[in-house]
A and B are shown apart, each in its own frame.
Chain A
């Protein structure tokens, strides 16, 4: 009895204290973050939603409301369809390749006996580079006339395979995808590596004694236990692939023609290159919806798997 009463008293006392606390301090602690975030993220985000229903050119003060016309154009424009197709190709290719490469690298780094930290650093280093710098380097490696790839093909007598890797619409997107795999895989490798190191060795030893081969061990023990890491990596790589921008800006500028235009790239080109900011914001809203759907799926999946995290 007495203890309960004490508890109640304590609770109301701390409750009161908390309220005072909030009035006096919390508001000032939160204030700077709240103001900056509202002003520089939320206000322009809501402006975007509004502008997507206008035909604003970015300069004039005359903002004309045109209803759903921008979205109708998105629905009908072959250029936008092409950009959406490219975005989806890039997303699927990057998610698959980056995760396979990252997992393979993580397993190698985990298993290798010598220079483990050095290898990890080498695989990870491209992650630290700016997309612009990385784009330059690959642009020159892939150059038709004096690029390394074509030179190597010449050296091994495969001159027939030489190609204009960035100038040919058939290869340009592939070149961007593969160079991005080089750049980004190290990031996911670190996450997989953390997952691998969390797997209890006894499990693998027991499987070994039971006569399970390496592949069986991977298939039935390692891989299922990496489910948490895999979810995180797949979702992150998907969102990052939707945001891909720097490499395209340097390596192809969306070209040749429209061959490497993705959704993010077309937003930029339409808004700042062609002065159609209303249409640009409408495309941005489409991107936003895509990313929101993926994020919500991710949150759901992660909630389910919280135990493993």
Chain B
């Protein structure tokens, strides 16, 4: 293998690059604007929105993190996200495995029943759900939303896992069965580890969705102890209507975990999108 010969730089290359760069600036500007504004005082924001901060003003961050409910709300969002995801990746692959491997009339019926859920947007059932949670005593605590998230992801999740399982050969499972391994053991020790790529896509896609979700947590966890971060931020518009510095600081903090997750799991984000594309 010889050294790769570098193609000469053409004007076309340069033009494409410049165009892409300009569009990229437009795309990244709102985010940079947000971060930049978080380090300005309120009067600076109102005086000149585009100007750089005169000094690194961090009081709004300190205020948010020590004097408000914001840290608590962040913790709630984290608990909600992690607990839902953890339960999802236990419950959904198991159901998908049973459906795919038995392939009987009954399991196929269950499969169609699950897929139907993909067509039902949350808005369609949110009104009765609200009342139902009240009746079940799940209103206002984190258990309710966790159940709703798991239930809402069954359709898509089962589709994703069954289609992947079709490509997983059964031979190993059969020999493990002959060796006397239980079905549970076969699933967790042999099959589940093979599902890694789908599980990762699922974790990334659903995790992001739950972390960012607004409508359901606002309806079900509207106040006090269990408010999530996004809902808390939403109410800041009313509360701090003239304190844009607070809002900018809050939104900046909320972007940090997303940015970290994205940078460390980039590959899965891209894969997740392509698998989400099949979802429809």
Contact = CB atoms under 8 A, between A and B. Distances in A.
Interface string A98-128: 0000000100110111100001011111101
Nearest to A140: B244
Chain A interface secondary structure, helix, strand, loop or mixed? helix
Contacts of A134: 30
Interface string B98-129: 11011110110010011001111101111111
Contact of B255 (A58, A119, A129, A131): A129
A104 to B, nearest CB: 8
B83 interface: no
A108 B123 contact: no
Interface in A4-52: 18-19, 21-22, 24-27, 29-30, 32-34, 36-37, 39-45, 47-48, 51
A164 interface: no
Chain B interface secondary structure, helix, strand, loop or mixed? helix
B280 A151 contact: no
Contacts of B230: 130, 132-133
B58 interface: no
Contacts of B234: 132, 249-250
A140 B254 contact: no
A108 B155 CA distance: 35
A243 B114 CA distance: 21
Given A37-B114, A133-B251, A30 B212 contact: no
Given A243-B123, A281-B128, A292-B119, A114 B17 contact: yes
Interface string B17-53: 1011001100110110110010000000111111000
A275 to B, nearest CB: 11
A152 B95 contact: no
Interface in B231-253: 233-234, 237, 244, 247-248, 251
A119 B19 CA distance: 11
A130 B254 CA distance: 9
Contacts of A53: none
Interface residues of A, number: 95
A123 B27 contact: yes
B183 A33 contact: no
B142 to A, nearest CB: 14
B151 interface: yes
Contacts of A119: 20, 24
A138 B24 CA distance: 17
Interface string B175-219: 000000001100100000000000000000000100111110001
A264 B123 contact: yes
A129 B212 contact: yes
B233 A136 contact: yes
Interface string A269-309: 00110000100110011011001100100110010000001
Interface string A169-208: 0000000000000100011001100100000000000000
Contact of B121 (A22, A151, A191, A287): A287
Given A129-B255, A137-B251, 7 more contacts: A22-B104, A42-B113, A44-B132, A132-B233, A232-B277, A242-B121, A309-B278
13 contacts: A19-B104, A22-B107, A30-B99, A41-B155, A45-B124, A47-B128, A48-B125, A122-B24, A123-B24, A125-B31, A128-B212, A146-B46, A285-B124
The 9 closest A-B pairs by CB, nearest first: A130-B212, A40-B151, A47-B128, A29-B98, A44-B125, A33-B95, A26-B98, A44-B128, A44-B129
Interface of B: 9, 13, 16-17, 19-20, 23-24, 27-28, 30-31, 33-34, 37, 45-50, 91-92, 94-95, 97-99, 101-104, 106-107, 110, 113-114, 117-121, 123-132, 147-148, 150-152, 154-155, 158, 183-184, 187, 208, 211-215, 219, 230, 233-234, 237, 244, 247-248, 251, 254-255, 258-259, 262, 266, 269-270, 273-274, 277-278, 280
